[in-house]
Structure 1
Amino acid sequence: MKLKAIIVEDEETSREILKNYLKKYCPNVEVLGEAANVEEALVLIRNQALDLVFLDVEMPYGNAFDLLDRVGDINFETVFVTAYNHYAIDALNAHASYYLMKPVSIDELIKAVDYVTEVKTKENALQDQVLVPKTNGINGKITIPQQDGFEVLNTADILYCKADDNYTEIFLENNRKKLVSKTLKYFEDALIDSSFVRVHKSYLVNINEVTKYVKGKGGSVVLSNGKEIMVSASKKSNLLSYFK
């Protein structure tokens, strides 16, 4: 699919290099405009229906995070392009789909564009459709350790799991909750054959309890109990693949 994009970068040479790379190696990306600072970028974003923004971190009169805060809710994916690797965690927290280091690697650029293409294709395919999990029903059980032994839970009763340092909070039907001295990764592995998917570094959700997917800044899912959980950009494609 075609991706409508803009490049936000204060260095003209860097903009030209990225634009030429995209034209040669990522022909499905249509660059609609360029911006050298936050104010110019805001004008482009507010006047274009965009799929993708290539975003430098350091710019005059503000940075990438200032820009995203001012934009608010967004429907485009973000690929950060920067010479500074210490922004990686901040970029992930800002729901970046990909993080490219300067000088930009052509292979990494292609991977970034391929990932965004995959996400947007899946989002468009599911637009205005009822979300139907590919795997319905969970006929399993899981044990959780307790001081005096263990408790057996029906996996179908689990709505979602939330990381709490080296503990995991398990949220069940009827507003029940369990705190277990195991990491979220432990439960991700334990439930690998069930309909559970990691949507965020802190959340593991039961696909059969997802009632709505919300596009926007990173995206989110709404569960059957009304709980809305943010979806990391890096987890979005995997989540959407669970629906038909």
Structure 2
Amino acid sequence: MKTLSLSKHRPQEQLPHANIIWIEGQQNYCVLHLAEGKPIVLTKTLKNLEQVLADNTFVRIHKEHIINRTFIASFSDTLVVLNDGTSLGLARRRKRLILKNNSTVVLI
């Protein structure tokens, strides 16, 4: 199981990737929205987390959002709707990253 270290000072604090629904960037901070529990604020940039989470599970859909693609319920040209009901804007340059193929979301 892949995990994200929540602190470089306490490496034992690990969060499973499967528990992260989406990540919101706020300047030098990120808010991790979780499937279980309250949101977690990290002192990392979205760019840093994008590099750490560089696998096919996460995709950056906007300058302020990274999503776990396993939680995508639906999407259009301008919005991505997640399983928890959250609607997030989809950047014009990033809409090519998401396709719906036989009810499976894939990256191109």
TM-score tier (shorter): 0.7 to 0.9
Matches within 5 A, 1:156-195: 156-195=18-57
Name the residue aligned to 2:10: 149
Return the structure number with greater helix share.
1
Aligned pair 1:232/2:95, yes or no?
Answer: no
Matched residue SS, 1:159: strand
The TM-score, its normalising length taken from structure 1, stands at 0.39
Once the 2 structures are TM-superposed, how far is the Cα of residue 193 of structure 1 from its aligned partner? 1.7
User: Partners of 2:68 and 2:96 in 1: how far apart?
Assistant: 16
**Which position in structure 1 is the counterpart of 2:58?**
196
Alignment partner for residue 221 of structure 1, among 64, 80, 96?
80
User: Alpha-carbon deviations, 1:163-189, whole Å to 9, x = none?
Assistant: 011011001013521100000011111
Cross-structure match for 2:106: 243
C-alpha displacement of 1:192: 0.7
Deviation at 1:239, TM superposition (A): 2.4
Consecutive unaligned residues in structure 1, runs of 5 or more? 1-138
Consecutive unaligned residues of structure 2, counting only runs of 5 or more, are none
| CA deviation string 1:190-228 (max 9, x = no partner) | 11124100000000000000001123xxx1111111000
**SS at the partner of 1:149?**
coil
**Letter aligned with residue 161 of structure 1:** I
How much identity, in percent, do the aligned residues show? 25
Rg comparison, structure with higher value: 1
Query: Structure 1 CA distance, aligned partners of 2:55 and 2:72?
Result: 18
Q: Which has the higher strand share?
A: 2
Aligned residues: 102
What is the one-letter code of the residue matched to 2:33?
F
With the length of structure 2 as denominator, give the TM-score of the two structures. Answer: 0.85
| Aligned-CA RMSD value | 1.9
Q: How does 1:67-86 map to 2 (within 5 A)?
A: none
Q: 1:140 offset after TM fit, Å?
A: 1.0
Q: Deviations over 1:27-81 (max 9, x none)?
A: xxxxxxxxxxxxxxxxxxxxxxxxxxxxxxxxxxxxxxxxxxxxxxxxxxxxxxx
Letter in 2 for 1:193: D
Task: Check whether the contact 2:19–2:36 (CA below 8 A) recurs between aligned residues.
Answer: no
2:79 & 2:37 partners in 1: Cα distance? 21
